[in-house]
Structure 1
Amino acid sequence: MQELPSGLRDWALHPADKKAPGFARYAEHVIQSQHADIVVTNHAVTVLNALTRKRLLQFGGSGIPVWMIDEADRLRTSAESLVQDGVSLHRLNTLLQALRLAAPSIITEPVIADTTALFNTLVAHRKPESKLLRDMPQEVIERLAGAHESLAPLSSALTQWLDQLDPMVIDLDLRDQALELIENLESFNEFVESLRSAAQDEPHLKITLVAWSDKKHWPSLICGSTNPGYVMNRYFRAVNEDECSPQAVMFTSATLRSFSSSSRALRSGRQADMQDIEKELGVFNRTPGVIPAPPPFSPRS
């Protein structure tokens, strides 16, 4: 890793006062050597680095002894805020309806019926308390498979249809709509392939399937997971022989047991998130619920 996590370029952990002569020297050493005894990150930095596959656990070829993650109860919230909308089913349906009269042999009644059924099924399964559908009900899986079977050949068919039209007489708005529809269809096919690949590579993973727009409440298809345990595990997946893991990880939170700052349901959800982390990392370390004790603290000279 070429640079330190957010914040460590300006601040370094040191027992001395920041005005003490040794502090500046210690901070400079941390920056130059990329070695630290303790690294502290908050929920946002932790998730952002995980989802962008940045490695904050390796400094100059050696792992950090202690990694402290503050506001750990907000890891799922941070992950959800970073998940982007994918294929807009509302826009896909709108474009299909707009072009069905112009290309009736391609956009047939079964195509309209399958995509409308998928849209309505997703709306029916929406949970008001969350803008994400984290589990895939069997009905949704079946509707998704039906829609993909109908939509898969449309992209190439519409491309050929456009090529055959006279560019001098074709309506420009119609052409733009057709091009946008082709782009949406390709995104839909890519989504399905990503979903299949994720299910095959990690069958235990619960895929986040749908995100709802905050304003218009329309579902969009995405592929990923906001499970805090999965997010954390991305740090520990070795991509080469040089990957290093911390000797101890500490999760801190001021709100997990605070009765004044959060409701009972919210606390329960956050405690469940911490259990997800313990389960996921326990599977990796093969010692569920056990956190190894760190070695005696000794700042590197």
Structure 2
Amino acid sequence: MKPQACISNAVIRENQPVMTVTEARLFVACLRAVTLSAGELQEIRVRMVPDVISSYSGQAYSLVRDAIESLKGRKYEAAGGESLFATLEIEDQTGDVVGAWNPAVREHLTDYKANDVTYTTLDWQDKRFKNAHTYRLLWLLKSYQSLHTPKVWKVEELRLAILNDLTTYPNLADFRRGLLDKVCAELGYGYETKKRGKRVTGIVFKALPVRNPAQVAIDFKEPVVTPKKTQKEAPGKTLEIGAEWSDSDKPIVAQKCSVLQKRGLTVPQVMQILSWCGGSVAKFDKVTKAAHGAYCETQTNGGITNVAAYIVARIKKDCPGIF
């Protein structure tokens, strides 16, 4: 796979729903896999590990499947209201993500000089960000890099470009603290506000020359999250799947409990979940569904730092009586 990814500025600048981190990584990997032969776009082939995720697991597969469906469902006005992808799926034999580009969008993918299309090419070698908004902002900023003067973003324009709505961070201070400051720190960018009196009229970004891109690019491994302990674990306590669970259910329950622990839940918390379920697979599935939904949200919202606490709060809400 080549290190560079190229896409037309028209596609980049089109407002779209926010991607998940997994979706943003998969999109970049697919763009890096673009090849032409005899003037035709060739098959997309992306290794799920390590190009999209760092290791195989049921949860990771689920995130990739969701990312695939979301990418296929995105329609772009620049592409005539069509998807960039004709097909995209996980290949059973290899676990690779394979597919085909929509032939109609060739000029948006290959630096094909036609119809006054302009492009942005980025080197993604060894770059992997923790925040989906970081991918989005980097594409946007680079797409305007050729301007003779730095682009001044209106606040509403920037909110729409990154979030595709004006309600997530309606207050500018929250928008800066909750999104811009975190994303710019990850990118190695700074920004300044333009004011008319006390009113902020625009935002200008600039790369910080004192930082090396290699220092701000996230290592190609998944980020390690150290959750805050919400309760003290008993010394030497290990998780046991009790006799209330059938022998056929125990391996699956144990595997899903392991995932919960990897997300930061303590052994006592997981034992409380098992006790509440009382051997009921339906109850356990309800818990894991709530936990999975909460975890996915932490991957798209860089403002959530305590993953375990966020998951526990969601379980409390969706499954009253556990904690």
For Structure 1 versus Structure 2, the TM-score category normalised by the shorter chain is under 0.3
- The answer to which structure, 1 or 2, has the higher relative contact order (CA under 8 A, 6+ apart) is 1
The two structures have a TM-score, normalised by structure 2, of 0.22
Q: Scaled by the length of structure 1, what TM-score is found?
A: 0.23
